Structure 1
Amino acid sequence: MTNRECSRPSCRGEATTTLTYDYADSLIVVGPLSPLPEPHSYDLCERHTDRLSAPQGWQVMRHAYVD
């Protein structure tokens, strides 16, 4: 357990991924939970990660661990 909650309002789910925005490239990057909380990123639970959608014209890049 990470003891970090999802950044979405009213969600108390355990954070599993970290989301960051690259505004210059209209890109959303979602990857494994960062080791430490970052002030310009968002930690998301599995449910909100799965439901993530990008604004029109933006792309989503998803990184995952490979065993």
Structure 2
Amino acid sequence: MNRPCSRVACSDEAVATLTYVYADSMAVLGPLSLSFEPHSYDLCARHAERLSAPQGWQVIRHQLLGEVGWGA
């Protein structure tokens, strides 16, 4: 089942899931989760590639081996 991107006004298909670890000031972006998680955000390839975090935060990007970019 396809899920849309969580960004407002974007209806592209989601390919990645974003979660935040507030205690560690960390944003974690990985492959699309198998099911919808209420405290995470599903992102399309365009929004996953453009993801940035506030100053002082870390962005951790987990991609599958052999994968080139999001949604490839």
TM-score, shorter chain, exceeding 0.5:
yes
Matches within 5 A, 1:6-17: 6-17=5-16
| Deviation by residue 1:31-62 (Cα, 9 ceiling, x = unmatched) | 00000000000000000001111100000000
**2:18 is equivalent to residue 19 of structure 1:** yes
SS of equivalent to 1:55 = coil
Shift of 1:66: 1.1
* TM-score of the aligned structures, taking structure 2 as reference length: 0.88
Query: Percent sequence identity over matched residues?
Result: 65
**2:46 is equivalent to residue 47 of structure 1:** yes
* TM-score of the aligned structures, taking structure 1 as reference length: 0.95
Gaps of 5+ in 2: 67-72
Partners of 2:2 and 2:61 lie apart in 1 by 23
Gaps of 5+ in 1: none
Partners of 1:36 and 1:11 lie apart in 2 by 20
| Deviation by residue 1:3-51 (Cα, 9 ceiling, x = unmatched) | 1000000000100000000000000000000000000000000000011
